[in-house]
Amino acid sequence: MKKVIVAIVVLLAIITAGILENVYVDKVFSTLDDRLGEIEADVLSESDSALNGVRDLTKWWEKQRSFMELFTYSPDLRAFSVALGETEGSLESGDYQNAQSKIQSLIVMSSNLHRILDFNLEDVI
């Protein structure tokens, strides 16, 4: 009987951890998408605040990425960091056209990463 109780407790802990991970990933990528949208608008208007937005996003992302890597791994998490750096470099050199393409890439990467890290029925089947 004790083994059954221990197994149920372990199962509940695993399910709870999975739910919390899913909620966290959804929250991170919702915030990320909002911030990318703001930066995209700044890049399209060639605003000087775009560079600061990317720098702030990079700092925020690195904290989130470090925490996410504790419970999940995807090389795309680090590739996203590289793409942020490329965007920052484009903005530093004043190349808004290249920065615009980089932002579009970041938006697509964010969507893909969210689907990879989120729980989907596709993963079960």
Please tell me the distance from the alpha carbon of residue 92 to that of residue 83, in angstroms, as a whole number. 14
Q: Name the pTM for this structure.
A: 0.84
pLDDT, tens digit, 9 for 90 and up, residues 38-87: 999 999 999 889 999 999 999 999 999 999 888 888 888 899 999 999 99
**Tens of pLDDT along 80-117?**
999 999 999 999 999 999 999 999 999 999 999 998 88
Q: Counting Cβ atoms within 10 Å, is residue 116 exposed (0-12), middle (13-18) or buried (19+)?
A: middle
DSSP annotation of 17? H
CA distance 119 to 75: 18
